[in-house]
Structures are given as structure tokens and as C-alpha cells.
Structure 1
Amino acid sequence: MTITYDKLGVRLIYAEGWKITEDELDTEPRTLSFESPQGGIWELMLYRDLRDIDELASEALAILGEEYENLETAPYTTAFGDVQATGHEIYFYHLDLLVHIRIIGARFGEQTALLLWQAEDREFDELEPVFRAMATTLLNPHKFPAPATDD
């Protein structure tokens, strides 16, 4: 079952049972994260203007590089519906687990989103379709209108 998150101009569909953390909703960037029951994380940093997505993704990668050693990285490009996105695919070991992170920058409308998807590598493969669906609904609001309300 899916649930619609719709607050302060952020609307997306996510899976039932996920924990939501609204870190920064009144400052720039707005930061919102969703955690799956398995521990996977889908995080959004939303800027209310157009930013250089390559620069944002590279800055996020540099911060990860300061926190963790021996990152394996590769460029990443994709599309979410009509929206082109670019970023980095990242792998590293932490506590004997292979961690998989994907940092993705995308522009939509007059906004810029920086997404961070993170999970243990095997869980990442299972969660990726959910992560992708969440990003697609966020970045293509014209294709996923707000649900009708019972007035």
C-alpha cells in the first residue's frame, strides 16, 4: 500500500511502514528523509531555485569522502519520467557491510532536488524500484496530481 506525502510543496508517494523525518522544512534546502523498515534511506534536499546539479552532487560526494574511506564511485545518469538526472553511484564497506549509495541531482519546474538513496547492497537492489517510484512522483507532479480530499 502507498501513502501520499504532501506538505509545503513537496508531494510524493511512498510505501506504508516507512518512517519520515522532517529535518529542515523552513530553511534552504528543505530536508526530508524516509527510512524503510529494512533500514534503507531515501533523502531529499530541496532547493527552491535552479542550481547546478553536477556541483551539488559533487559536493555531497566530497562530504561522504571525508566521512568514509575507500569509496568506489562511478558517474550515474538516469531519467525520472520527463526529468533528466545525474550524480554518483557509490560503494564502500562499513562494519563489514557493503553500503550502496546513489546521489542524484535533478531540476524540475523552478526547483532543484538532491536525492540520496542508501542501503546495504543487497537491500538496495530490493529497494531501488521503491526509491525510483518515490523520485518519479516527486519530480513529475503534473503526472501525479494531489489526491482528492473528502470535503
Structure 2
Amino acid sequence: MPQEYIHRGLRFMYPDGWELDHSDMLAGKSSVAVYSPGGAFWSVSVHPRDADPQRLAESVLKTMELEYDTVDSESQTVSLGGRKLVGYEMNFFFLDLVCTATIRCVQTEKATYAFFCQGEDREFQAQAKVFDAITTSFLSHVKKLSYWDD
């Protein structure tokens, strides 16, 4: 049975057995994460609605490039939940492991949301559809206005 997170206007479903970390939300920040049993994670952060999704994604990419010695990245535009998300897929090494991360951002009438997913490469691939399902669940609860959203 999936779990449901509802707090401060954020709402999404996530798999049973995943660990929720909403300590940032409880501390007044606007982000929440869920972790798979294998250590991969999905997170969402809320930004002002006038934040540019592409610039936000580029900022995350630059942060990753500062954190890790070599980051291979590829620009992405994906459609989830009837919305266009922009961002990057990134591959890098951490402790002799090949890791994959994605940043996908979308601007809505209410806010700009950044979805960040990361995990060891095999775990990431195993959870990729779950990450998309969580993001789709989240977006299904964000009111879509035809004059604003693509």
C-alpha cells in the first residue's frame, strides 16, 4: 500500500518501505525527500513561481560539478503529468561507484518546483520509473491552468 505525504501544500504518493525525510519542511524550508531501501532518493524543493526552471536546473548542475570531480551531463526535457519539465541527467563517480542523478524543474502558476533524484547507477535504473511515478503523483495535485502551463 503506497504512503501519502501531505504537508504545507505539498502532496504526493510514495512506495511503502521508503523512508520519508521532511525535517527541512518541519524547519520551515520548502523541501522533502523519500529514500528507497537501496539508498536512492527523490526530493522536491519549492521555489518562487517566477524562478526560471532552466536557470534553476543549471544551478544544480553547477553545484554537482563543484561537488564531484567529473560530471557527465545531458540536457533533458521530459513530459510528466501533462507538464514539460526541463533539466539534466548527470553521471559521476562517488566512492568508486558510478552514480546517476537527475534534476527536473517545472514552473506552475503556484510555484517553480525542482525534482532531484540520485542513486548508484543500478539502483537508479531500478527506481527510475518509481521516481517518475512520484513526480507525476506530485504534479497531479498541483492545479493546472491552461493559460499558464504548457
- Structure 1 residue 136: deviation in Å? 0.5
Instruction: Indicate conservation of the 8 Å contact 1:83/1:107, yes or no.
Output: no
Instruction: Indicate conservation of the 8 Å contact 1:18/1:37, yes or no.
Output: yes
Residue in 2 that maps onto 1:91: 91
- d(CA) in 2 for partners of 1:119, 1:2: 21
Matches within 5 A, 1:1-151: 1-25=1-25, 27=28, 30-141=30-141
Per-residue CA distance 1:9-51 (angstroms, 9 max, x = gap): 00001001111111432645x0111111110010111124231
Per-residue CA distance 1:50-94 (angstroms, 9 max, x = gap): 310000011111111111011000101101121110101100111
Which amino acid in the other structure matches residue 113 of structure 2? A
Q: TM-score, normalised by structure 1?
A: 0.88
Instruction: Indicate conservation of the 8 Å contact 1:50/1:110, yes or no.
Output: no
Q: Indicate the structure with greater strand content.
A: 1
Instruction: Indicate conservation of the 8 Å contact 1:108/1:139, yes or no.
Output: no
Which amino acid in the other structure matches residue 19 of structure 1? E
- Calculate percent identity across the aligned residue pairs: 27
Q: Secondary structure at the match of 1:139?
A: helix
Residue in 2 that maps onto 1:147: none
Instruction: Indicate conservation of the 8 Å contact 2:49/2:108, yes or no.
Output: no
Q: Secondary structure at the match of 1:16?
A: coil
What stretches of structure 2 of length at least 5 have no aligned partner? Answer: 144-150
- Structure 1 residue 96: deviation in Å? 1.3
Equivalent pairs counted in the alignment come to 142
- d(CA) in 1 for partners of 2:18, 2:133: 14
What stretches of structure 1 of length at least 5 have no aligned partner? Answer: 144-151
Q: TM-score, normalised by structure 2?
A: 0.88
